[in-house]
Structure 1
Amino acid sequence: MLPTPDLSHLSTDDFEVVYEPAEDTFLFLDALEADAETLKDLKPSICLEIGSGSGCLSAFLGNILGPSVLYLCTDINPHACKCTEMTGTQNKVFLEAINVSLAFPLHDRLKHNVDIILFNPPYVPTLSNEAVGAQSLGTIGGAWAGGMDGMEVTNTFLQYVEQLLSARGRFYLVALKQNNIPIIRQSMLNSHGLRSEIVLQRRAGIEHLFIIRFHREKQD
């Protein structure tokens, strides 16, 4: 079993403004560990995490794959970007944190070049204006406020996943049961040619969490 990344450098003050790893994070770590050998076999060059928060996921992936990979991490919250870089340093993984929304400024440079994408999105159903406000302000609320059906932010990024993924790329997404997972999977297949599997699922209190893995219909 791989150790959880060391976050001892982050304080309670940090977690007042940056999402603290919780059950969704730990389920994601378990999913990545379950796929560790497959991910190594990909021999990835570029990994991209959307909404990196504390940097826990990318640091964990870095400890699986090693230093030969470029680890890009984006977040709308500047405090999260700082914490992500600190977590990389603490865990001896170089994480390049970029303070942007999703991956919009990077699309042209990364087109069909990202081998692994990680996204633990804001999936909690809220009022639409709550999600929009949190995203525009770049606050901690942007880590959980998902708008209508908890899918507003996620749906925006899903439109670009196929454009970013390399030929053998893998995209991992966290979703709630209330997000209508069958619809997400079917839409990604019909609109973008990306097949999917549920890697892991787990109940955490009132939440039923899923990790979904997407890849192209045909692999090179």
Structure 2
Amino acid sequence: MKPSVADVRLTSYNKDVYEPSDDSFALVDALQQHDWTSFSPDVCLEVGCGSGYVICSVAKMLSQHGLRAQVLASDISSAALEATQETLVAHGVADVELIQGDLLKPLIPRFQHQVDLLIFNPPYVPTPDDELTRTDIARAWAGGNRGRAIIDKFLPQVKEVLSPRGFMYMVTVTDNRPEDILQLLSNDDIEGKVILERAADEEALRILCCWRRHERDAEGHH
């Protein structure tokens, strides 16, 4: 049974919010491959929810499999949180908590080692560093040198929130050097691999799935 996902036609976005695109669809496709029948997450969190397409899809997957979880979505942009709320309402999805904040920092005290499903579609496009300070839609994709400025801020925070049985799904592109990202995570005893590859326009998307080393032997992982 293929899990249901959000309807892109009901997804809300505006000029200040990143619309669902190839990376969003690839991330949701990767999540669809997860073995939801043997993995029952208690806490699901998407960082950088944008339009809400991905977190809405996750909520629908949970519902389809009869799973109940605390579902949260965060973004630094108030416009993104408004769009996510509109997307959730349009799909009849309730009980998703929305939080405004920068990456995981504001969530670490509350969810230390408690997030079972962590999702991140970062600003990964290589850009001049001065684009990192923009406050318009460019903030959704501007990644600085090698597209790694935001990613490299995020990676050290993962170990603080990922639960012993948790999984993280993250979008990268070849320019980000995914193998280097996996090595950095490995230094924090988090291992993973590329589970989906897809060509999209001028990008080569790579979806990573990561989990804590020595904990559950990649439960639900393919």
Runs of 4+ off more than 4 Å: none
In structure 2, how many angstroms separate the alpha carbons of the residues matched to 1:89 and 1:61?
Answer: 15
Q: Can you list the C-alpha shifts for 1:113-156, whole angstroms capped at 9, x where unaligned? A: 0000000000000111211x13xx3x321110001110010110
In structure 2, how many angstroms separate the alpha carbons of the residues matched to 1:181 and 1:17?
Answer: 28
- Report the counterpart of residue 31 of structure 1 in structure 2: 30
In structure 1, how many angstroms separate the alpha carbons of the residues matched to 2:173 and 2:185?
Answer: 16
In the alignment, which of 175, 192, 198 is matched to residue 202 of structure 1? 198
Which ranges of structure 1 fall in alignment gaps of 5 or more residues? Answer: none
Q: Determine if the alignment matches structure 1 residue 97 to structure 2 residue 60.
A: no
Q: Determine if the alignment matches structure 1 residue 184 to structure 2 residue 181.
A: yes
In structure 1, how many angstroms separate the alpha carbons of the residues matched to 2:11 and 2:73?
Answer: 18
In structure 1, how many angstroms separate the alpha carbons of the residues matched to 2:85 and 2:184?
Answer: 34
TM-score by length of 2: 0.90
- Alpha-carbon distance, 1:92 to partner: 2.7
In structure 1, how many angstroms separate the alpha carbons of the residues matched to 2:106 and 2:130?
Answer: 24
Instruction: Work out which structure has the larger RCO, using CA pairs closer than 8 Å and 6 or more positions apart in sequence.
Output: 2
TM-score by length of 1: 0.90
Give the share of equivalent positions with the same residue, in percent. 34
In structure 2, how many angstroms separate the alpha carbons of the residues matched to 1:155 and 1:93?
Answer: 32
* RMSD of Structure 2 on Structure 1 (CA): 1.5
- Alpha-carbon distance, 1:9 to partner: 4.5
Q: Which amino acid aligns with 1:215?
A: W
Kindly indicate whether the alpha-carbon contact (under 8 Å) linking 2:11 and 2:52 is maintained by their aligned counterparts in 1: no
- Alpha-carbon distance, 1:15 to partner: 2.6
Q: Can you list the C-alpha shifts for 1:140-194, whole angstroms capped at 9, x where unaligned? A: 21110001110010110101101100110000110010111111111111x2111
The 3-state SS of whatever aligns with 2:123 is coil
For residues 64-213 of structure 1, what are the structure 2 equivalents within 5 Å? 64-66=61-63, 68-94=68-94, 95-131=96-132, 133-134=133-134, 137=135, 139-189=136-186, 191-213=187-209
Which ranges of structure 2 fall in alignment gaps of 5 or more residues? Answer: 217-222
Kindly indicate whether the alpha-carbon contact (under 8 Å) linking 1:123 and 1:175 is maintained by their aligned counterparts in 2: yes
Instruction: Tell me which protein shows more helix as a share of its residues.
Output: 1
Corresponding pairs, count:
211
